[in-house]
Structures are given as C-alpha cells and as structure tokens.
C-alpha cells in the first residue's frame, strides 16, 4: 500500500462527543464512529466536564476497536495517529491525548496532535462514500480562504493563506454563536443542545416579527449577548403567548444571529482579496446560515465550501485531515520532531515517521 492510500486514525474528545475516524490524505473518510453524550448532560442543560471526561474513558477504546474491525484494518496498518490536543475541556482532552500516546507507544506509530479549530477549518474538504470529493474536477478551493468558524465554543473569522497559515481577523466579544442558540433553547424550554431545535422551530415562524438589531461592530468582531438579552425580555413580556409567538421569536432570533455573522463576512469580502469562502463548525449546520452564505457567495463570485452535516459538529474526521496537513507541511520543510513526553503543549509535535 502506498502512503497516499493509507489512513490516519483520528481521535477527537475535546468536549462531549467521542469520535474516531479513518481518514485519507485527500480527505476521504473511510469510516467514522461517534458516541454522543447529549443524554447524560441534558438534565443539567449544559456540558458537565467531569461527566464528559468519564464518559470518554468508557467509550473511546471500544469505539477504536469497532472502527478498525468494521473497516477490516489492523491498528499496525494505519499510517499514523492524530488527536485533538486543544482547545477544549482539559479532562476530556487528556483522555484522548493519553489514549493516543499509549497507542503510539504500543505500536511505534507516528502521532500528531491537532488544534481543534484547525480541524473545523479542514472539515469542508472532507468527503466519503455518500458525497463527492469537493476538490474534484479542478474545484479545489484556491487560497486565500475566508473561513467563518461557528460552533458552541467559538465564533471566529479567519484569513487562511495556506493550509497551516491562519490569521484570526475577528472573534466574539462574549458568547459564541452556538452558545447563543443553546441559551435561547434553554430559556424557551427546547432542550439541549438547542441549535438544531431552534433551526427546526424557526422554519414554522416568520423572521422580522420580533425586531432585533443586527450587530455591526468594527474589526470583524461579533457579539451575541445583547441579542440574547433582547430575546429573554421578549419571552418575559406578559403578552407573549408561547404557542403563537415562539416560532416567530425563534425565526427572528435565528435571522439576527445569521445576519450579524454574515455582516462581518461582507466586510471581509469588501476589504480583502479572497478566492474561497468556507463556513464550518456546529452552527454551519444551520439551514438559514447555509442558504444566506450561499447567496452571498454567488453575489461576490467567491465559491462556498461547507461540510456535509455530519462533519459540521465535532468529529474526528476533521482532526485526521488537519493531521495530514501538519504532516505534509513538516515534510515539505524536511523537519522531523520527536514526540513530547508531556501532554501539555503537544500541538504540532510529531514522532518520527516510519519509513
């Protein structure tokens, strides 16, 4: 088997999803298995870190075994290992990092640690048996890219000059966009995590019935706490009728979040030369964000890349592809770095490549 036909075994445990995947250098995902912890955290209305790390410990290694078995691949046959090392919940990250290090030491496989956000940036280029390779037929995204990464923990706009050359143009001053969706869902009794529920409910409502102001801060900055407080006030109004008004409120709330996100994208389109536009992270699963991002991409003639829905939220496949990028870059530069003995600061460390 040539190197390019081989797979990285990737592990993602940065928050509350345990995920493992086998990923090829061109972004093809041979298989991915996820264990969601949503039910365990639902009663608390948010992720409880201690519960999250314990749950990862229980399910991670059985998930790795199952993935290898299902795809008839032996651990010793994979090209290497990739694991998320930061940012995230420290206990959850440690479970993934220590497990990956143990596997690397047992097998002498090379290990690369990956920044979770680099994973989200890689996600739009993933594909599998159900989807086409987005880079096929000369459609590979051309640099520089403008990347809107929107998740439960992050909301940032990146200027990406090459695979591993990222500049943050702007970020949120308070809540992340996903957090804003989740907080609204909690206030409205829609369950956790709430983004997908708000999305569903918003389809039955009309945006603009509740008047919210689009956030237009300078320096590509985002802010959602004011919008959240406005929605909270609307919910508390004595005239608010949950049956009649909730879908309209959800639609208005979703629309102002999406418009505030895309306002900064428009600013970037006006100020910078970019040749590809990517929307990624859990919130990129949002129907309205996708539709409006698509319209903006057409208007500015900058092609849009957004991951298939299963690679929007946290997943190991994106960590595997970013892992390949780290490797490729190091090899281009002819560098070989030994794996660090400490779990801290692991990002970008490498064991020596097996020849």
Q: Can you give the binding site for ligand KG4, defined by CB under 6 A? A: 15, 151-153, 178, 181-182, 193-196, 199, 281-283, 285-286, 313-314
DSSP-derived 3-state class of residue 55:
helix
Q: β-strand 80-86 against 29-36: which pairing, if any?
A: unpaired
307 contact, one of Zn ion, ligand KG4, none, CB 5-8 Å limit per kind: none
96 contact, one of Zn ion, ligand KG4, none, CB 5-8 Å limit per kind: none
Contact 87, 153 (CB under 8 A): yes
119 contact, one of ligand KG4, Zn ion, none, CB 5-8 Å limit per kind: none
Number of neighbours of residue 309 by Cβ within 10 angstroms: 11
196 contact, one of Zn ion, ligand KG4, none, CB 5-8 Å limit per kind: ligand KG4
Query: Per-residue x/- mask for Zn ion, residues 279 to 318, rule CB under 5 A?
Result: -----------------------------------x----
Exposure string for 56-86, b = 16+ CB within 10 A, e = fewer:
bbebbeebbeebbeeeebeeeebbbbbbbbb
Nearest-approach distance from CB 323 to Zn ion, in angstroms: 16
Contact 153, 52 (CB under 8 A): no
Between 144 and 194, CB nearer to ligand KG4:
194
17 in contact with Zn ion (CB under 5 A): no
245 contact, one of Zn ion, ligand KG4, none, CB 5-8 Å limit per kind: none
128 contact, one of ligand KG4, Zn ion, none, CB 5-8 Å limit per kind: none
Nearest-approach distance from CB 155 to ligand KG4, in angstroms: 10
Nearest-approach distance from CB 182 to ligand KG4, in angstroms: 5
Nearest of 329, 61, 94, 118 to residue 337 by alpha carbon: 329
Cβ-closest position to Zn ion: 151
DSSP-derived 3-state class of residue 300:
helix
Structure tokens given for 175 = 């809540």
C-alpha dihedral, 78 to 79 to 83 to 85, nearest 10°: 160
144 contact, one of ligand KG4, Zn ion, none, CB 5-8 Å limit per kind: none
**How far is it, in rounded angstroms, from Cα 38 to Cα 18?**
11
Contact 192, 200 (CB under 8 A): no
Between 117 and 251, CB nearer to Zn ion:
117
Contact 349, 339 (CB under 8 A): yes
207 contact, one of ligand KG4, Zn ion, none, CB 5-8 Å limit per kind: none
Q: Say how many residues touch Zn ion, by CB under 5 A.
A: 2
Between 24 and 41, CB nearer to ligand KG4:
41
Q: Sheet containing 17-24: which strands, arranged edge to edge? A: 29-36, 17-24, 7-12, 80-86, 111-115
**How far is it, in rounded angstroms, from Cα 38 to Cα 36?**
6
Nearest-approach distance from CB 238 to Zn ion, in angstroms: 39
Contact 190, 201 (CB under 8 A): yes
Q: Which of 13, 37, 84, 151 binds Zn ion (CB under 5 A)?
A: 151
Nearest-approach distance from CB 280 to ligand KG4, in angstroms: 8
- Residue with the two structure tokens 């041979």: 30
182 in contact with Zn ion (CB under 5 A): no
Nearest-approach distance from CB 149 to Zn ion, in angstroms: 8
Structure tokens given for 304 = 């849009």
Structure tokens given for 337 = 């770095």
Nearest-approach distance from CB 51 to ligand KG4, in angstroms: 16
Between 12 and 128, CB nearer to Zn ion:
12
Nearest-approach distance from CB 354 to ligand KG4, in angstroms: 32
- Interface with Zn ion by CB under 5 A: which residues? 151, 314
């Amino acid at each position: 088997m040539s190197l390019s036909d081989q797979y990285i075994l990737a592990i993602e445990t940065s928050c509350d999803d345990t995920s493992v995947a086998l990923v090829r250098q061109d972004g093809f995902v041979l298989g991915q298995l996820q264990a969601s912890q949503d039910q365990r955290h639902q009663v608390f209305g948010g992720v409880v870190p201690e519960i999250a790390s314990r749950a990862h410990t229980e399910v991670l290694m059985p998930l790795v075994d199952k993935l290898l078995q299902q795809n008839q691949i032996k651990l010793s046959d994979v090209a290497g290992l990739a694991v998320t090392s930061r940012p995230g919940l420290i206990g959850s990250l440690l479970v993934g990092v220590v497990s990956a290090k143990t596997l690397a030491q047992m097998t002498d496989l090379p290990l690369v640690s990956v920044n979770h956000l680099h994973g989200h940036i890689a996600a739009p280029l993933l594909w599998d048996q159900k989807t086409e390779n987005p880079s096929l037929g000369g459609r590979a995204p051309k640099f520089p890219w403008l990347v809107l990464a929107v998740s439960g923990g992050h909301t940032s706009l990146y200027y990406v000059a090459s695979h591993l050359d990222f500049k943050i143009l702007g970020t949120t001053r308070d809540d992340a966009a996903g957090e804003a969706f989740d907080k609204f869902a909690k206030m409205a009794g829609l369950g956790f995590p709430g983004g997908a529920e708000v999305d569903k409910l918003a389809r039955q409502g009309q945006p603009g019935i509740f008047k919210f102001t689009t956030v237009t801060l300078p320096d590509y900055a985002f802010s959602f706490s004011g919008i959240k407080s406005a929605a909270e006030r609307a919910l508390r109004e004595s005239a608010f009728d949950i049956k009649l008004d909730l879908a309209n409120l959800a639609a208005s709330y979703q629309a102002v979040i999406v418009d505030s996100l895309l306002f900064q994208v428009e600013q970037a389109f006006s100020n910078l030369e970019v040749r590809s536009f990517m929307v990624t992270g859990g919130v990129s699963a949002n129907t309205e964000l996708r539709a409006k991002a698509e319209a903006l991409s057409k208007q500015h003639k900058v092609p849009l890349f957004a991951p298939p829905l299963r690679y929007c939220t946290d997943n190991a496949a994106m960590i595997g592809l970013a892992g390949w990028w780290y490797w490729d870059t190091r090899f281009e530069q002819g560098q070989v770095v030994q794996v660090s003995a400490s779990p801290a600061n692991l990002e970008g460390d490498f064991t020596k490549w097996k020849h």
